[in-house]
Amino acid sequence: MKVSSTKLPGVLIIEPQVFGDERGYFMESWSQQRYKDAGIEHDFVQSNVSKSAQGVLRGLHFQNPNPQGKLVSVLAGEVYDVAVDIRKGSPTFGQYEAVVLNAENHLQFYVPEGFAHGFCVLSESATFCYMCTNYYDPQADASIAWNDPALNIDWPITSPKLSEKDDKALNLGAINIDILPVYRP
C-alpha cells in the first residue's frame, strides 16, 4: 500500500495493493495495523454505502460535536472528492484537497475529523463507500455551501443536483463559528 500526504496535514491518499488477473482482482480495503502504521489510528465504528447519479453533489458535510473522520472509496463509477479544513485556528483553515476516486484506480481518501467532506459524481452513476470514526449524529450534522467563493473549490461541475439541505447550506464565513471544530496541533 502506498500512502501519499497532501497539502493538508492528516489528509491522505491511499493506493492499496491490487492483485488482478483475467478473473478479476483482490485488494485489502482495510487492515487496522497497516493503516495505523500509515497514521490512521482511529477506530471505525460505522460503514456507509451510497449510490448517486451523474451530476449529484453531496456536501460539504461535517458534524460537530462528535466529528467523523472518513476513509472513502468508490466501488463503481467515478467521483471528484473534496476535503476542506474547517478547524478554527488551523494554519490551513479554509483550504481544500481534492482527488478523483474511481473503480479502476482503487484509491482511498482519508478525511480526518475536523474537515468538511463532499463529492460530485462524474460517471453515469457511482457507488461510494465510507467508513466513519464516529456514529452519525443528526443533531451535530451541518453543511457548507459547495460553491462558497472563499473556498474556491475547482469543481468539475457547474450545475449539480443537490439535496435540499445542501442547496440551503451557508458559506463557511456565514456559519456560527461556535459550531466549527477546533484545531489541536
Predicted pLDDT of residue 128: 97
Q: Which of 80, 96, 110, 130 is catalytic?
A: 130
Q: Residues 6 or more apart from 72 whose CB is under 8 A from it?
A: 81, 101, 108, 109, 110, 111, 117, 119, 128, 129, 130, 131
Q: What does the H/E/C string look like for 129-141?
A: EEEECCCCCCCCE
Predicted pLDDT of residue 111: 98
Model confidence over 39-88: pLDDT tens digits?
A: 898 899 999 999 999 999 999 999 999 999 999 999 999 999 999 999 99
Active site residue 25: no
Q: Which residues in the chain show pLDDT less than 50?
A: none
Predicted pLDDT of residue 42: 87
d(CA 115, CA 182): 10
Q: Which of 35, 42, 61, 106 is catalytic?
A: 61
Active site residue 117: no
Predicted pLDDT of residue 185: 86
Model confidence over 67-80: pLDDT tens digits?
A: 999 999 999 999 99
User: What are 96's strand-pairing partners?
Assistant: 84
d(CA 167, CA 58): 10
